[in-house]
Structure 1
Amino acid sequence: MRPARFSLIWVIPILVVGIAGYLAWKGLSHRGPTITITFDTADGLTAGQTQVKHKAVALGTVESIALSKDLRRVEVKVQMSAQAAPFLTKNAQFWVVRPRLTGASVSGLETLVSGAFIAVDPGAPGGEEQDRFTGTESPPGVRSDEPGRTYTLMTGSIGAISEGAPVFFRDVVVGEVLGYTMPPGGRGPIPVQVFVREPYDHYLRADTRFWDVSGIRADFSGGGLKIQVQSLQAVLSGGIAFGLPVQRRDKDAPEAPDNAVFKLYDSKEDADTAGYRERLPFVTYFRNSVKGLGVGSPVDLFGLQVGTVTDVKLLLNNTTGDVRVRVAMEIQPERVFSEEEIKAGSVRQITQAMVNNGLRAETDSSNLLTGSSIISLAFVPKAPPVEVVTEDNALVLPSQSGGLSGIMESLSTVSAKLAAMPLDQIGDNVNSLLAHADGTLNGPDVKQSLRELNATLRNAQSLTARADQGLAPLMQRLPQITQQLQQAVTHADSVLSSYGGSSDFHRNLEQTLHQLNDTVRSLRLFVDFLNRHPSALLFGRGKP
């Protein structure tokens, strides 16, 4: 029997088996564990097609999709690759990447062409291995490959802040809001988790202030309308900003550690106000309207804010029926005095001296459009001194009506004084006086006096007429007499010139002629005056 010979035909099957073995070995060597991820919905996921990726590198493929036993979620089985096995721990996070619009940010647009996929963040190394995970519908705010720190902010209300809202530092986006947790029973402050990227997290100190910059803020103070918008994203999804205190006393404040807790203020003004440590309680009472005044309203001194209103309460005395408004304030002396001046002087003594100088608290309108009011500390001239008393560790400041209320009160006082005047009696007296004057003017004595005065005037006119008639011939001859005198003087001058010499006769005659010339001149002036004023002979020169 001949031995069996090796046929070349067996080479092909052997090669096929070898290749198949190699492929099987290669597939098994690169095959990782099978894991199960639960999601709220399987929207966009397809078995055998959807991949699991990290930084655009495929790490697995979805094998099957099924509903959970309670029908509330979906269970997605994923065959992972061998290189993904080391980070399949409890620190790993999975989420579905789809086209997403949150606030002003758009993400996942690449899935419009390639389809949705499952993204994974390995998380911190060293966690416990597991094969079941709970996926999220939105990407986590903190990634393992993005260094930074997480902080908690406490606030009374969320407002417009939403998950993914930006965190600003000097108008630069340095982080985002991770989410918030409602307190037990819905009572108390709400914790909001934020993430700040490195190196900006090193700027946070123990005295750092956070405030809300969501939406659009309108401010009517400062003499005009001011519109403040942090960014379009902050308008749509809300936003948070932080900064250092305005007056930093702790220049070497320690750096805020991870998971530190801060308070979230409603505005930057509130955050700046919180930077003042000293707060002195004061109280004042009003009996006029305090419309527009509320908690947080500023307290001004000469137009500069020195404090805020902490409480406004209406007090009614059931026994006497007395009604007044109690306004509690917190004055921040650091806005006015230095720390040394505050420590050196007694607050009560300083307050008493200012009250003796006329310090009074009054309500004033801060904006006529919004109707908001403030407490204005003003010095009233000649105000009577008032003793400053203490009420529950708070100093009580005297008050007075101010603003529109003060104007209306002054008008009411003037109106009351006018109403108190006896206008009816004054009118009756005026009417009586007019009637008495009318009766007196129409009386017989006045009529007789008028008749006698009329007769006297007629006699005076008759006397003037007779005087004019008597003086008429004399007035007509006066120019002729004056002309004759002038001729005589001229003739005398010719005679004198014929004598000549400097004899006594010549000198006397020359003096006589000068006197005669003066007489003629005076007579001419007298005649001219009588022509203009003939009545001067009766009434004198000083009368018409």
Structure 2
Amino acid sequence: MSEENSTPSSSEKLPQASVCKKKSFSLIWIVPLVALLIGLGLVYTAMTEKGPTVIITFASAEGLEAGKTKVKYKDVEIGKVESVELAEDFEHVQVTVSLVKRANTYLNEETRFWVVRPRLSGGSVTGLGTLLSGAYIAVDPGKGGESQYEFIGLEIPPVVTEDTPGKLFTLKATDLGSLDYGSPIYYRGIKIGQVVGYELQKGGEGIDITVFVDAPYDEYVKNTSRFWLASGMDLEMDADGIRFDTESLVSLLIGGISLSNPAHLKGTPVADSGDIFQLFPTREAAMKEQFIEKEYYVLKFAQSVRGLAIGAPVEFKGFPVGHVVDIGIEFDWKSGEVLVPVRIEVEQERLKRIASSTGEADTGAMLDLLIEHGLRGQVRTGNLLTGKLYVALDFFKNVEPAKLLSENGVTEIPTTPTPIEELTSNMSALLEKLQKVPMEEIGNNAVETLQSIKETSEKLERLADSDELRLTFQKAHETMEGANNLLAKDSPTVVELQRALREMSEAARAVRSLADQLERHPESLLRGKEGK
């Protein structure tokens, strides 16, 4: 085929297509645009409704998990844990929590966070719901103070929260005893509150216990209310029999506190939140009239004070006025005696009452007046079963004159021995005097004197001529002979006298032994002497 035949002609050229732009909008773009708008809306909503982020420091992260552990207030979720990390000191964990926006108002220095787990405290079990749902962080919103976003979480959950109606009070005690968080508070046998915290006082001299009394029971807490430990049981024996007292089985097991208002104090105002009260060890101690002013005195005893302990009562005419605070020992170089100084604490208001009754405004002048009238201190047995002693301030007759003395700023009250000690002392003195009497020498001298009289009478008899004089001398001779026989060493009279003296000596020793036995074991009057 020729080249001409293979080349197409102009009339046989292919047509060319022309492209025209269509101006209509495609519906396929609607779906991504809507998705974009929704996404932007969600981002905007998340950004505008995003709440604050806080950091909470805990001792451990037990039960906490990032992305899962929730933050709740009144069982309503208000946030979630974002991360859990170790602190820089490797001793704590820092939990980052994201909260809802409206929570920002309640984040201040009064806000508290804690982890809710199953816990046994104060006789009750809390957080059992977390056994299935897992632990969560609870919050107690604060109602005052500056805004804050970093917190130290509570290791022990608070018993009451900010919105719980009632009042907080502080009880001061010497030790905590069996009390713990959640220990109950009773009023007339009804639980009205609980212990919510405790801490050592400054200097470590006592314990400050914070208690919460629920409303409306907080209206029964007066300015004169008395609190005491209701832990355990009170067992008392007296002439009326045996009495057993306890508040409840819970207080018997875990401890508790009782509250009461003295019946003789009427119309006292209701206590304010934050008021401070004293926590007494027993109901008896709480119900006693309370005095603030104290005065200290010392009494020096020459006798043994075995059975006298610190805290033993001090009584004036049988009425308690104080207690023993210290017992020591010292040597008196003047008398050569070993003395036991007993320091006592006396309630000053009681002494002022006595002073006013005597017409003296000053307690020192009052004591001088009372001592002139025989006031002395004495150690007495308070309980025959236990042998416990107490210090008695009482009036005694026929005591040696004495005055108040002052040593190192402490006034000394004169003392007197106990009756049995005085009896023992008198018997010992009598025995010593009898032992010093030269009975044998006196007998020998008497015999020699009678012998001399006898010889003189015989001479006179020989010289006498008259029968009457002879008869007189003969009777005198018989009398002297009888006296001589009476006072002879082997005569029954002398033998009986010596035996009587020996028995008196043995009796004095027995009395001394009895006094020593009763002083060391006064309960032996009831139980008898125990065998070794």
Identity fraction in percent: 34
Q: Which is higher, the Rg of structure 1 or of structure 2?
A: 1
Cα deviation for residue 216 of structure 1 reads 4.7
- Structure 1 residues 269 and 327, CA gap change in structure 2 (3 angstroms): farther
Cα deviation for residue 379 of structure 1 reads 5.3
2:503 maps to none
2:391 maps to 375
SS in 2 for 1:432: coil
- Structure 1 residues 435 and 104, CA gap change in structure 2 (3 angstroms): closer
Cα deviation for residue 301 of structure 1 reads 4.8
1:138-184 per-position Cα deviation (integer Å, ceiling 9, x unaligned): 11245210244444444444444444444444554444444344456
1:401 maps to 417
Q: Could you tell me how far apart the structure 2 residues matched to 1:34 and 1:139 are?
A: 22
1:43-89 per-position Cα deviation (integer Å, ceiling 9, x unaligned): 11122221111111111122222212221111222222233232223
SS in 2 for 1:44: coil
The answer to whether the Cα contact below 8 Å between 2:122 and 2:181 also exists between their aligned partners in 1 is no
1:4 maps to 24
1:32 maps to 51
The answer to whether the Cα contact below 8 Å between 2:63 and 2:134 also exists between their aligned partners in 1 is yes
Q: Could you tell me how far apart the structure 2 residues matched to 1:161 and 1:342 are?
A: 44
Residues 427-506 of structure 1 mapped to structure 2, 5 A cutoff: 432-433=490-491
- Structure 1 residues 396 and 20, CA gap change in structure 2 (3 angstroms): closer
Residues 126-525 of structure 1 mapped to structure 2, 5 A cutoff: 127-182=145-200, 186-201=203-218, 203-204=220-221, 208-216=225-233, 228-235=245-252, 237-244=254-261, 256-273=271-288, 275-276=290-291, 283-301=298-316, 303-318=318-333, 320-331=335-346, 342=357, 344=359, 360-378=376-394, 383-384=398-399, 386-389=401-404, 391=406, 398-402=414-418, 406-407=419-420, 410=423, 413-414=426-427, 417=430, 432-433=490-491
TM-score (norm 2): 0.64
The answer to whether the Cα contact below 8 Å between 1:355 and 1:385 also exists between their aligned partners in 2 is no
2:508 maps to none
- Structure 1 residues 203 and 335, CA gap change in structure 2 (3 angstroms): farther
SS in 2 for 1:299: strand
The answer to whether the Cα contact below 8 Å between 2:488 and 2:494 also exists between their aligned partners in 1 is no
Q: Could you tell me how far apart the structure 2 residues matched to 1:436 and 1:99 are?
A: 94
The answer to whether the Cα contact below 8 Å between 2:107 and 2:142 also exists between their aligned partners in 1 is no
Q: Could you tell me how far apart the structure 1 residues matched to 2:231 and 2:120 are?
A: 18
Matched, 1:63 2:56: no
1:124 maps to 143
SS in 2 for 1:113: helix
Q: Could you tell me how far apart the structure 2 residues matched to 1:417 and 1:13 are?
A: 126
SS in 2 for 1:46: coil
Name the amino acid aligned to 1:140: P
The range that moved more, 369-378 or 33-42, is 369-378
- Structure 1 residues 188 and 282, CA gap change in structure 2 (3 angstroms): closer
Q: Could you tell me how far apart the structure 1 residues matched to 2:487 and 2:177 are?
A: 72
The answer to whether the Cα contact below 8 Å between 1:221 and 1:367 also exists between their aligned partners in 2 is no
1:370-390 per-position Cα deviation (integer Å, ceiling 9, x unaligned): 44221234555x544745535
2:467 maps to none
- Structure 1 residues 290 and 90, CA gap change in structure 2 (3 angstroms): same
- Structure 1 residues 315 and 124, CA gap change in structure 2 (3 angstroms): same
Name the amino acid aligned to 1:134: I
Q: Could you tell me how far apart the structure 1 residues matched to 2:235 and 2:153 are?
A: 42
SS in 1 for 2:490: helix
Q: Could you tell me how far apart the structure 1 residues matched to 2:142 and 2:59 are?
A: 22
- Structure 1 residues 150 and 45, CA gap change in structure 2 (3 angstroms): same
Q: Could you tell me how far apart the structure 2 residues matched to 1:103 and 1:196 are?
A: 15
Cα deviation for residue 305 of structure 1 reads 2.6
The answer to whether the Cα contact below 8 Å between 2:123 and 2:183 also exists between their aligned partners in 1 is no
1:110 maps to 129
- Structure 1 residues 278 and 117, CA gap change in structure 2 (3 angstroms): closer
**Which residue of the other structure, out of 54, 58, 69, is the alignment partner of 2:73?**
54
RMSD: 4.5
Cα deviation for residue 93 of structure 1 reads 0.8
1:516-544 per-position Cα deviation (integer Å, ceiling 9, x unaligned): xxxxxxxxxxxxxxxxxxxxxxxxxxxxx
SS in 1 for 2:97: strand
The answer to whether the Cα contact below 8 Å between 2:172 and 2:276 also exists between their aligned partners in 1 is yes
Cα deviation for residue 310 of structure 1 reads 4.2
Q: Could you tell me how far apart the structure 1 residues matched to 2:122 and 2:389 are?
A: 35
1:373-418 per-position Cα deviation (integer Å, ceiling 9, x unaligned): 21234555x544745535479876553333xxx4466356547656
Aligned residues: 428
- Structure 1 residues 218 and 205, CA gap change in structure 2 (3 angstroms): same
SS in 1 for 2:328: strand
The range that moved more, 172-181 or 106-115, is 172-181
Q: Could you tell me how far apart the structure 1 residues matched to 2:493 and 2:213 are?
A: 95
Cα deviation for residue 122 of structure 1 reads 0.5
Q: Could you tell me how far apart the structure 1 residues matched to 2:297 and 2:287 are?
A: 21
Name the amino acid aligned to 2:329: L
Q: Could you tell me how far apart the structure 2 residues matched to 1:398 and 1:11 are?
A: 111
The answer to whether the Cα contact below 8 Å between 2:118 and 2:127 also exists between their aligned partners in 1 is yes
Matched, 1:43 2:59: no
Name the amino acid aligned to 2:490: S
Cα deviation for residue 193 of structure 1 reads 3.7
The answer to whether the Cα contact below 8 Å between 2:184 and 2:191 also exists between their aligned partners in 1 is yes
The answer to whether the Cα contact below 8 Å between 1:299 and 1:374 also exists between their aligned partners in 2 is yes
Q: Could you tell me how far apart the structure 1 residues matched to 2:413 and 2:334 are?
A: 25
SS in 2 for 1:109: coil
Instruction: Show structure 1 runs of 5+ residues with no match.
Output: 438-544
Q: Could you tell me how far apart the structure 2 residues matched to 1:226 and 1:218 are?
A: 6
2:463 maps to none
Q: Could you tell me how far apart the structure 2 residues matched to 1:435 and 1:168 are?
A: 80
The answer to whether the Cα contact below 8 Å between 2:122 and 2:184 also exists between their aligned partners in 1 is no
Cα deviation for residue 136 of structure 1 reads 1.3
1:262-294 per-position Cα deviation (integer Å, ceiling 9, x unaligned): 444444444444624676765543221222323
The answer to whether the Cα contact below 8 Å between 1:220 and 1:367 also exists between their aligned partners in 2 is no
Name the amino acid aligned to 2:147: E
The answer to whether the Cα contact below 8 Å between 1:150 and 1:195 also exists between their aligned partners in 2 is yes
